[in-house]
């Protein structure tokens, strides 16, 4: 269970970091890099989500888990990463529009 928990935290944290790197690339006008980093962030979220889903499926099948604070933290960490990634994706799209309106593309 600990391996699963730390996998969720690790993948979620990596996704979050990549999303922020993507936003920084967008602010610098490198939208190709921003898009690539967001794809990587999405893959990391996908890996974390697979781990989360496998746990949910196991529990739905009758397996019992002791839910500790660290598991709750992992869930919170993943949901925060997902929300921030989504927000940063929208901010990147806004940056693209701003640049286009300024005539820099």
CA distance 102 to 105: 8
- Counting the structural domains of the chain, the total is 1
Q: Which pTM value belongs to this model?
A: 0.88
Q: Which of 11, 49, 73, 77 is catalytic?
A: 73
Output the domain CATH number for residue 73.
1.20.58.80
| Integer Cα distance of 102 and 104 in angstroms | 6
Q: Count of residues for the chain?
A: 105
Q: For 38-79, what is each residue's pLDDT tens digit?
A: 999 999 999 999 998 888 888 889 888 777 888 889 999 999
What pLDDT, on the 0 to 100 scale, is given for residue 105?
59
73 is catalytic: yes
- The range of the structural domain enclosing residue 82 comes to 2-101
């Amino acid at each position: 269970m600990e391996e699963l928990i730390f996998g969720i935290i690790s993948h979620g944290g990596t996704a979050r970091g990549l999303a922020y790197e993507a936003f920084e690339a967008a602010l610098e006008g490198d939208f190709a890099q921003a898009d690539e980093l967001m794809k990587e962030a999405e893959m990391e979220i996908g890996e974390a989500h697979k781990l989360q889903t496998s746990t949910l499926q196991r529990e739905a099948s009758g397996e019992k888990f002791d839910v500790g604070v660290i598991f709750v933290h992992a869930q919170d960490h993943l949901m925060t990463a997902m929300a921030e990634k989504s927000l940063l994706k929208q901010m990147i799209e806004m940056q693209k529009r701003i640049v286009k309106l300024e005539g820099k593309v």
